[in-house]
């Protein structure tokens, strides 16, 4: 088995945006042992990444670098992918004797690269997810970046959920800081105004960030976590919040990677280069002529000062999830499990499925979520899966139907019990999981409900059929 090395980036936001590149490198080397070098402050993120076998901590001092070079030499790496742009990344891997070294041809490091990627200012012309992904793509142009989801463990999410239990729902996470500089920071006083309005009209506020980035305000519904969390704690607590308000910062990138609907405020930087996906929420961007300037400091910061509280508050209200939904598994729940349904002759809808329409009358969205690994296995045609799902939309009034086409070994974010499909539905429809349900015939459906904080109904145990499912939900509403 060959050993492959990745030199990771140094900043949290860049680390999140580099996740698709890391996964792309895994696709290039499916059977290799992959190690990544990152600073200790980012190690919690990559310890969660299934495409990485080992996290090596990078430390700055010269004696630590000498130790690192010796360690790399002993591991006999075949190739090093340098996602970090710095000259030192190429120097260390060259001194470690790694025979193949891949990275952008910039920062005076051409001599130390065996596979230089031509650089013409791409970090100012393409989104940085694509910028990092260009490195593995050079070896397979057909590769495409996936969404930079972060997969959390249920056990840690449950601990975070318990810690946030005293907070009134919904919870607005606020991250008022940004490491880059003052030009990326909306005014603290305006964040405080938003926090006050939210606690008066909706629920609680949780403030995240580094020490010194808290909001100084006397309000029992505003909880300060700034400077009090590890990166692991931050990710799990943030994932349990209902909405995030932030600047263009590392926490912004964590937010959309964790599936948290967000409102992101941009000043000196560009959403086209480092912004969240459009479907993940709202971007507030100034229209002043000098923006984006990418400066860290500015004498007047017009770009941020021109954004008023009402504009941001309106966006928060628009993004806040408020709808309720019932998520239904498909095979074994809505229709007979034909062991990889692949032809219409084997399709058999269960009795009482019409009762589901009563849920729509009660204000629920009806959404299907189904694992279809038969597509990746080559057993089922993807277009047939889409046809069957569309049948439920057209005939039984489903609002949408999501499916995961990946193999169980792919480690994807969407395969149940991972929460990718409901999170995409939350982005699309503004769903409040805590007033929603997951219905299925397998334990993974109940695990999915637990993962997202919804109520689970297990067919065959909690309910005999779909009609009884509807009755259970109606009783809950009347309780």
pLDDT tens string 450-479: 999 999 999 999 999 999 999 999 999 987
Span 39-56, pLDDT tens digits: 999 999 999 999 999 999
**What confidence tier does 387 reach under pLDDT thresholds 50, 70, 90?**
very high
Copy the structure tokens of residue 252.
């912004």
Separation CA 170–CA 355 (nearest Å): 30
Among the residue ranges 50-54, 174-178, 203-207, 357-361, the one predicted with the least confidence is 174-178
Q: What is the pLDDT of residue 179?
A: 75
Give me the residues paired with residue 104 across strands.
117
Alpha-carbon torsion (333, 339, 343, 347), positive or negative: negative
Q: Per-residue pLDDT averaged across 319-339, rounded?
A: 97
Q: Per-residue pLDDT averaged across 117-146, rounded?
A: 94
Pairing outcome for strands 115-117 and 54-58 = unpaired
Q: Per-residue pLDDT averaged across 224-228, rounded?
A: 93
Q: What is the pLDDT of residue 411?
A: 85
Q: List the Cα angle 189/192/226 in 5-degree steps.
A: 105
Beta strand segments in 248-363, E: 262-266, 281-285, 324-328
Copy the structure tokens of residue 114.
């065996």
Separation CA 51–CA 411 (nearest Å): 8
Q: Are 40 and 9 in contact (CB under 8 A)?
A: no
Q: Per-residue pLDDT averaged across 411-415, rounded?
A: 92
Position 25 pLDDT exceeds 90: yes
Q: Are 203 and 171 in contact (CB under 8 A)?
A: yes
Q: Per-residue pLDDT averaged across 244-261, rounded?
A: 96
Q: Is 36 left (phi over 0), alpha (psi -120 to 50) or beta?
A: beta
Copy the structure tokens of residue 251.
């926490």
Span 42-92, pLDDT tens digits: 999 999 999 999 999 999 888 888 899 999 999 999 999 999 999 989 999
Q: Per-residue pLDDT averaged across 366-377, rounded?
A: 97
Among the residue ranges 82-86, 211-215, 359-363, 413-417, the one predicted with the least confidence is 211-215
Separation CA 285–CA 79 (nearest Å): 41
**What confidence tier does 182 reach under pLDDT thresholds 50, 70, 90?**
confident
**What confidence tier does 289 reach under pLDDT thresholds 50, 70, 90?**
confident
Q: Per-residue pLDDT averaged across 255-261, rounded?
A: 96
**What confidence tier does 293 reach under pLDDT thresholds 50, 70, 90?**
low
Position 183 pLDDT exceeds 80: no
Q: How many CB atoms lie within 10 A of CB 247?
A: 24
Q: What is the pLDDT of residue 445?
A: 98
Cα separation values, 13 from 18, 74, 195, 243, Å: 9, 31, 24, 18
The reported pTM is 0.94
Compute the CA torsion angle 51, 56, 60, 66 (nearest 10 deg): -130
Q: What is the pLDDT of residue 65?
A: 87
Position 256 pLDDT exceeds 90: yes
Crossing angle (nearest 10°) for helices 309-319 and 188-201? 40
Secondary structure (3-state) at 455: strand
Copy the structure tokens of residue 468.
């009884």
Residue of 332, 336, 396 lying closest to 367 (CA atoms): 396
Among the residue ranges 110-124, 128-142, 382-396, 439-453, the one predicted with the least confidence is 110-124
Alpha-carbon torsion (452, 155, 416, 446), positive or negative: negative
- Residue-wise over 348-379: b if at least 16 C-beta within 10 A, else e? eeeeebeebeebeeeebbbbbbbbbbbbbeee
Position 304 pLDDT exceeds 80: no
Query: What Rg do the C-alpha atoms of the chain give, in angstroms?
Result: 24
Q: How many CB atoms lie within 10 A of CB 53?
A: 15
Separation CA 369–CA 152 (nearest Å): 19
Q: Are 337 and 372 in contact (CB under 8 A)?
A: no
Position 107 pLDDT exceeds 90: no
At residue 311, what are phi and psi to the nearest 5 degrees? -65, -45
Residue of 95, 94, 113, 96 lying closest to 104 (CA atoms): 113
Q: What is the pLDDT of residue 456?
A: 98
């Amino acid at each position: 088995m060959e050993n492959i090395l990745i030199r990771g980036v140094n900043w949290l936001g860049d680390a999140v945006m580099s996740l698709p590149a890391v996964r792309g490198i895994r696709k290039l080397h499916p059977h290799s042992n992959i190690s990544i070098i990152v600073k200790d402050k980012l190690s919690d993120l990559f310890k969660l990444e299934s495409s990485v076998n080992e996290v090596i901590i990078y430390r700055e001092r010269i004696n630590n670098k000498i130790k690192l070079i010796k360690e790399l030499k002993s591991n006999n790496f075949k190739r090093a992918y340098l996602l970090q742009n710095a000259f030192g990344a190429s120097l260390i891997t060259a001194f470690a004797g790694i025979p193949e070294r891949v990275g952008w041809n910039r920062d005076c490091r051409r001599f130390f690269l065996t596979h230089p990627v031509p650089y013409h200012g791409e970090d100012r012309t393409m989104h940085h997810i694509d910028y990092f992904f260009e490195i593995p793509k050079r070896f397979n142009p057909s590769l495409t970046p996936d969404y930079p989801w972060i997969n959390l463990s249920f056990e840690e999410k449950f601990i975070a959920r318990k810690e946030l239990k005293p907070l009134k729902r919904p919870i607005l996470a606020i991250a008022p800081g940004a490491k880059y500089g003052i030009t990326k920071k909306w005014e603290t006083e305006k964040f405080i105004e938003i926090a006050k309005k939210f606690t008066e009209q909706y629920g609680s506020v949780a403030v995240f960030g580094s020490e010194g980035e808290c909001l100084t305000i006397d309000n029992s519904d505003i909880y300060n976590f700034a400077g009090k969390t590890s990166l692991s704690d931050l990710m799990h607590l943030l994932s349990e919040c209902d909405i995030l308000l932030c600047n263009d910062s590392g926490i912004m990138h964590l937010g959309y990677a964790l599936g948290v609907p967000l409102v992101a405020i941009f000043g000196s930087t560009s959403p086209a280069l480092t912004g969240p996906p459009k479907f993940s929420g709202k971007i507030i961007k100034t229209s002043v002529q000098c923006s984006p300037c990418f400066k860290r400091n500015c004498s007047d910061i017009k770009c941020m000062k021109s954004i008023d509280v009402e504009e941001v508050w309106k966006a928060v209200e628009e993004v806040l999830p408020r709808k309720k939904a019932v998520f239904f598994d498909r095979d074994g729940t809505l229709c007979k499990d034909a062991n990889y349904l692949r032809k219409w002759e084997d399709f058999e809808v269960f009795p009482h499925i019409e009762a589901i329409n009563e849920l729509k009358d009660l204000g629920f969205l009806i959404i299907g979520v189904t694992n279809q690994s038969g597509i990746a296995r080559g057993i089922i045609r993807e277009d047939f899966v889409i046809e069957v799902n569309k049948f439920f939309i057209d005939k039984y009034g489903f609002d949408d139907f999501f499916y995961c086409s990946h193999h169980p070994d792919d480690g994807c974010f969407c395969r149940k019990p991972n929460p990718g499909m409901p999170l995409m539905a939350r982005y699309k429809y503004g769903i409040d999981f805590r007033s929603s349900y997951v219905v299925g015939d397998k334990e993974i459906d109940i695990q999915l409900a637990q993962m997202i904080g919804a109520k689970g109904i297990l067919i065959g145990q909690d309910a005999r059929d779909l009609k009884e499912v509807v009755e259970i939900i109606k009783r809950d509403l009347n309780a």
